[in-house]
Structure 1
Amino acid sequence: MKSNPSIDPQRIGFLFNHDELHQVAHTAPIISALQRHSPTTRVEVITSSDRQAEAVRQFLDPTCPTPAFWSIRPHRWSRLAEKMLGQMVPLNRLSSLRRATELFRHFDALVVPETTTTFLKKNSEMAKPKLIFFPHGAGDRSIGFAPEIRLFDYVLLPGEKTRDRMLDAGVIRPDNHRIVGYPKFEAFAARPPVKLFDNDKPTVLYNPHFDPLLSSWFRFGEQILDYFASQNDYNLIFAPHVMLFQRKILASVEHRLLRFRQRIDPRYNKLDYIHIDTGSTRSVDMTYTAASDIYLGDVSSQIYEFIHKPRPAIFLNSHGAEWQGNPNYEHWTFGPVLDDLSGLGAALDAAMPLSDTYRQTQARAFAYSFSVVENQSPAQRAAVAIVEFLDIPR
């Protein structure tokens, strides 16, 4: 079908409104794919920081027209209030949304990787824009299937697992979603691996989450760093979720718990077999999941990026979870689960090679979590889904 020049082209904005950069790679690859698939559509980018804008530009196809970039910023008073509250409440994100409401009215749809944007639906009768959601990750935590998702007009999903759990939770309908795959994988597929250590020892990635209840860092973190500092058999990459060290106070609305951020003793940085990164771009571009031989963690969705290539994984139950048979901990079936650190050395020694049982479990979980279609990338599939949902003429 040819486009009708008498009809104004639809405007689709890709909104990035988080403090950090870990959400960018989940939707930014779709921008150029949408431009190629629907050249008459006005595809634009909205960010709330210069860092976000620069991160988005890394994913743009230089053969496509450069999209317009819009900057939305929180009010200075909200920045001050959030700082005074220890950054517990996302006042900056909410302020940016509120201040940009008039801009958003000019868009037919916004594509977003997080649920704070549902603020626009909760506090307004706006017919436009439609909100299109792609979750930033394919993990198992219950927060990934929160009631706010019901407020989105359309939901793009990485695979069957997320779809099935969202349907079970009643946050999507059979007619308002589509499985498209995981654009983040294609975004970094061609990136060569990074060698971080000048030796051939196995490398362990310790990747604790930031949730103050679920994270192993608050109970086990210093002991784990001490363990690796006092041994010579393994390299350690300590690369937690980027939010763990970005706030003075870690808050969980879901679990109603607060914890103060803990410092890292600088002596660990002096060891050439320990690499510490509390929030650089390497923490979010799969550098560390690609460079590791063994995963050590708790509930981060990065485990699903790690098992892109099945490898040993060890999990830390620092909060006494009754996890067996609980879908929120499905990833804990990928390797042994430790309730304390007394068995860490034995678990590491037994980790390699990966057993056939764990290999098969990881492979099944990966296939269930990420849809792959031959000769069609996730970004292309997402672009097609967006065009068809919005009924854009082609």
Structure 2
Amino acid sequence: MKIAFLYVAEPYQCYHVAAVSSALAQFPNMSVTEFVSFPETAQHLEAIRRENNLGGRIERGVLKMPLKAALLRRLRRLDAEREVVMRENVAQLEQFDAVVATEYSAGLLREMGLVRPALILIQHGAGDRAVNDEHLIRHFDLSLVSGPKIAESFLAKRLATAAQTRIVGYPKFDAVSKERCQEPSLAARKPVALYNPHYKKGLSSYGRFLHPLVDAVNQLDRYDLLIAPHIKIFHKDFGGRRRLFESVVGGRVSLDAASSALLDMTHTARASLYIGDVSSQVYEFLIRPRPCVFLNPHGVAWRDDPHFRHWTLGDVVEREEDILPALAQAESRHVLYRARQEQVIHETFGSQPRRGASHRAAQSIREFLRGEFTVAPLPAVA
């Protein structure tokens, strides 16, 4: 069996897939080839395998990169570049028995003419947000998801059937060191409040709440604030957004806009308080229940909306003047949310052991391709 793993987005995606391709490559009669469009992604893949002693013989394929793709990258139109690269490489991918990806947009390969290979999705992230290309899940022959929450969502929206869906856990946990899931270091001067704004227009909080948040942190004098934005904030950006974040750095406020710690759970493990809007990283933070504060400057009607399930896990702030009280009370009010956090984490990542998801995913891919795949009942989410 010849399996292609397709990496046509930034390095964040490789943390969800690297351990799976390594596990699959260790099965007999499985040939694994990785296609990478960003040089940084290859560097992250090598670091993940080195730091976690991941084995398996993996070939490195070469993607054709047309001039249009290079131009789109220079213009920071990375989502558009992704589509151009996929279209250019359909014929090459057609030679494989399966193509594995972690981006919904890989479903476009079917519309671009990919016929022979099975198309397999490894769900990246564990969040609730509605995304524009979610409908492309229908093009995948098999979807591997972290827990019953996402599996039931796929079924309820008729994006996939039970026969096309398998709960395996969260392979990213196998791609980061065990220390990422343990208690944070006590060496920090003050507890760290992690601010993790998303890029989605109409939902992200940094445009309106960045400066009020920094003012509140400085006035409270309880936390060191680490600003760690979703890396897609810097798409279509020629330095303006980075300068905005840099303008508030100083004293107890720091910024990480580029390091691997944005991707490998370093920040979510270290922090004592999570402040954000709609990023799925809140679920990585909550593998150890801790206080959360969510920012809703746009006044989104979120209650009873499953796409904002995570906003039931902490106080939600809609006015500037309420930021300081929310931060001041976050620890004392955590008792109100802890049980709910534990329940939702169980729904998100399932009941299987945290480690081993990559092997379960690899085994599922192997069974599917060999025609040995059995349909297991999916647990319902309350």
Residue 264 in 1 paired to residue 244 in 2?
A: yes
The alpha-carbon deviation at position 43 of structure 1 amounts to 1.3
Query: For 1:112-169, what per-residue CA distance to the aligned partner results, in whole angstroms no more than 9, with x for missing partners?
Result: 0102212210121x33221100121010011188211101111001000001111111
For 1:83 and 1:122, locate their aligned partners in 2 and report how far apart those are by CA, in whole Å: 26
The CA RMSD measured in Å over matched residues stands at: 2.5
For 1:33 and 1:311, locate their aligned partners in 2 and report how far apart those are by CA, in whole Å: 32
Of 118, 128, 134, 1:140 maps to 128
Corresponding residue of 1:99: 88
For 2:189 and 2:332, locate their aligned partners in 1 and report how far apart those are by CA, in whole Å: 16
Query: For 1:291-325, what per-residue CA distance to the aligned partner results, in whole angstroms no more than 9, with x for missing partners?
Result: 10011110000011111000000011121111111
Q: Is this contact kept in 2: 1:11–1:109, CA < 8 A?
A: yes
Of 341, 356, 365, 2:344 maps to 365
For 2:131 and 2:55, locate their aligned partners in 1 and report how far apart those are by CA, in whole Å: 36
The alpha-carbon deviation at position 196 of structure 1 amounts to 8.6
Of 234, 237, 243, 1:248 maps to 237
Corresponding residue of 1:170: 158
Q: Which amino acid aligns with 1:129?
A: P
Q: Which amino acid aligns with 2:169?
A: G
Residue 385 in 1 paired to residue 364 in 2?
A: yes
Distance 1:372 1:74, change over 3 A: farther
Question: With structure 1 as the length reference, what TM-score do the two structures score?
Answer: 0.86
Q: Is this contact kept in 2: 1:188–1:285, CA < 8 A?
A: yes
Distance 1:267 1:48, change over 3 A: closer
Of 262-271 and 384-393, deviating more is 262-271
The alpha-carbon deviation at position 191 of structure 1 amounts to 3.5
For 2:191 and 2:321, locate their aligned partners in 1 and report how far apart those are by CA, in whole Å: 20
The alpha-carbon deviation at position 233 of structure 1 amounts to 2.2
Distance 1:95 1:194, change over 3 A: farther
For 1:127 and 1:261, locate their aligned partners in 2 and report how far apart those are by CA, in whole Å: 41
The alpha-carbon deviation at position 103 of structure 1 amounts to 1.4
Corresponding residue of 1:79: 70
The equivalences for 1:140-219 within 5 A come to 140-143=128-131, 146-191=134-179, 199-219=188-208
Q: Which amino acid aligns with 1:329?
A: F
Q: Which amino acid aligns with 2:330?
A: A
Write 1 or 2 for the structure with the bigger share of helix: 2
Corresponding residue of 1:40: 29
Q: Which amino acid aligns with 1:106?
A: Q
The equivalences for 1:18-29 within 5 A come to 18=9, 20-29=10-19
Query: For 1:44-93, what per-residue CA distance to the aligned partner results, in whole angstroms no more than 9, with x for missing partners?
Result: 21111221112112333757343110131532233324544x52x62321
Corresponding residue of 1:300: 279
Corresponding residue of 2:324: 345
For 1:151 and 1:71, locate their aligned partners in 2 and report how far apart those are by CA, in whole Å: 24
Of 25, 28, 31, 2:21 maps to 31
Q: Is this contact kept in 1: 2:146–2:349, CA < 8 A?
A: yes
The number of aligned residues is 369
Corresponding residue of 1:334: 313
Q: Secondary structure at the match of 1:161?
A: helix
Distance 1:238 1:381, change over 3 A: same
Of 217-226 and 41-50, deviating more is 217-226
Of 52-61 and 315-324, deviating more is 52-61
Q: Which amino acid aligns with 1:103?
A: Q
Q: Is this contact kept in 2: 1:194–1:287, CA < 8 A?
A: no
Q: Is this contact kept in 2: 1:153–1:176, CA < 8 A?
A: yes
Q: Is this contact kept in 1: 2:290–2:338, CA < 8 A?
A: yes
Corresponding residue of 2:268: 289
Q: Is this contact kept in 2: 1:312–1:352, CA < 8 A?
A: yes
Question: With structure 2 as the length reference, what TM-score do the two structures score?
Answer: 0.89
Q: Which amino acid aligns with 1:78?
A: A
For 1:235 and 1:389, locate their aligned partners in 2 and report how far apart those are by CA, in whole Å: 48
Distance 1:316 1:132, change over 3 A: same
For 2:127 and 2:265, locate their aligned partners in 1 and report how far apart those are by CA, in whole Å: 15
For 2:245 and 2:13, locate their aligned partners in 1 and report how far apart those are by CA, in whole Å: 29
Corresponding residue of 2:375: none
Q: Is this contact kept in 2: 1:145–1:165, CA < 8 A?
A: no
Of 41-50 and 61-70, deviating more is 61-70
Q: Which amino acid aligns with 2:307?
A: N
The alpha-carbon deviation at position 40 of structure 1 amounts to 1.5
Corresponding residue of 1:255: none
The alpha-carbon deviation at position 356 of structure 1 amounts to 2.9
Distance 1:103 1:160, change over 3 A: same
Q: Percent identity?
A: 32
Q: Is this contact kept in 2: 1:145–1:169, CA < 8 A?
A: no
The alpha-carbon deviation at position 348 of structure 1 amounts to 1.3
Q: Which amino acid aligns with 1:22?
A: Y
Q: Which amino acid aligns with 1:208?
A: P
Q: Which amino acid aligns with 2:228?
A: A
